[in-house]
Structure 1
């Protein structure tokens, strides 16, 4: 099973290890692309601060991120699983997994990134600010840039691909052909009664929380579904209410709905 995750805007304040070693990161096919994006980002942030903030979409309160990006080559690095601190990763709770579950996470989780393309949770990277929606000078739109490199790099294997990325990060790699037919995406729906009628709505913040818990539960259960249908069975066995809203084809991944009646 390969699980594709988005990164989080929330990140650790700083790293405490040696600087990033691009040659040590997983998916070595992305090495040249990572160097090009890193150089472009650092060059941008060592220039005009106002321009850098505009390109990166930073508010006035986040201008300090420009200086942090400017120092990325020398900044201390942490395992990626410790760098990302947002809602999904908080609910995934990597630090609370036992050794066996954590080893499964290292093998199966792949986090997409505007700066690094994609990394494993054990890859050591410094905290940074660069979303997939950014258009970097000399690079262009990062989603488009990474898409040209990802087909040769993503280890899709021959089993289930569980794609939990947001739309911006999904743009960097789209499964096709037989890979699409064994890829499953997940939508979280909140079901509640309104004036005596059951209604469903898509949730955002709690979408991330539910996806984090879902991955945590699969890892803790040592679940290894090999196909989307087996994933439905595994999640149902773990207490989730799962419905298939679209079956996969050579052009489209499976779409699964996880229905919740409480959001927390």
Structure 2
């Protein structure tokens, strides 16, 4: 099973790994786009105003420009320790131990606008690039990534179950055939359902932690739903390959 996470805009600084080497990352078929995007971001960072415009940043976020300028020289850290924020706080992968930690490292991956797909231990620097960014090089990031990333994801899905927790803009970079798609939805007082953004990430993070550490090997959406229910989560299957985590509306 592969649990495909979204990245986070917030990332931890520092790291004790050597500077970025694309050859050290998983899925080398993605290296041509990775190489071009890294080059573009470093070059773009030389013009802070243009960089902020392309990445949707404010002047107060100049540190993000500085991060991109140092993409090839700053230290790296394992991907799961680089990303931070609500989902990663709920995942709390650093507290997993023993066999559960080993399973998490093999099962968790992140869909990245810069690197396409990174595995848990892949060494990456801090960076800023969201899926909706519009770089001067032309074309959308989805248009650049899809020809390379979609075959990689399809090959993984042919071998094992993929549980896709990515948000819409990152899922658009490349679809995963047969993946189990997950969303958190609010249960309104009248019993209807509404997809939510508030607390969505936290609930996905809790599910990711469950799937990362379990000894079970689910092979379809029904098995994932059963695991979640045994852990006390409310889950519905609106379609055979879609799960909704049901969150009572305040």
TM-score w.r.t. length of structure 2: 0.93
CA contact (8 A) 2:221 2:242 kept: no
2:235 corresponds to 1:234:
no
Cα distance in 1, alignment partners of residues 36 and 196 from structure 2: 36
User: Match of 1:124?
Assistant: 123
User: Match of 2:38?
Assistant: 38
Instruction: List, as ranges, runs of 4+ consecutive aligned residues in structure 1 with deviation greater than 3 Å.
Output: 197-201
| Aligned ranges 1:78-227 → 2 under 5 Å | 78-154=77-153, 155-175=156-176, 179-180=177-178, 183-193=179-189, 197-227=190-220
Cα distance in 2, alignment partners of residues 100 and 241 from structure 1: 27
- Could you tell which deviates more after superposition, 29-38 or 11-20? 11-20
User: Match of 1:261?
Assistant: 248
Structure 2 gaps, min length 5? none
CA contact (8 A) 1:77 1:127 kept: yes
Q: For 1:161-186, what per-residue CA distance to the aligned partner results, in whole angstroms no more than 9, with x for missing partners?
A: 111100110011112xxx32xx2111
Q: For 1:33-80, what per-residue CA distance to the aligned partner results, in whole angstroms no more than 9, with x for missing partners?
A: 11111011111112x211111001101211221122011100010111
Cα distance in 2, alignment partners of residues 35 and 124 from structure 1: 15
How much has 1:227 moved relative to structure 2? Answer: 1.1
- Could you tell which deviates more after superposition, 121-130 or 100-109? 100-109
SS at match of 1:217: helix
Q: For 1:113-156, what per-residue CA distance to the aligned partner results, in whole angstroms no more than 9, with x for missing partners?
A: 11111101100001100111112222531122111111332222
How much has 1:262 moved relative to structure 2? Answer: 7.0
CA contact (8 A) 2:25 2:122 kept: yes
How much has 1:199 moved relative to structure 2? Answer: 4.8
2:4 corresponds to 1:8:
no
Cα distance in 2, alignment partners of residues 59 and 99 from structure 1: 43
CA contact (8 A) 1:2 1:108 kept: yes
SS at match of 2:36: helix
TM-score w.r.t. length of structure 1: 0.88
Cα distance in 1, alignment partners of residues 249 and 200 from structure 2: 12
Structure 1 gaps, min length 5? 248-253
User: Match of 1:20?
Assistant: 20
Cα distance in 1, alignment partners of residues 71 and 22 from structure 2: 12
CA contact (8 A) 1:144 1:171 kept: no
Cα distance in 1, alignment partners of residues 249 and 108 from structure 2: 27
How much has 1:192 moved relative to structure 2? Answer: 4.9
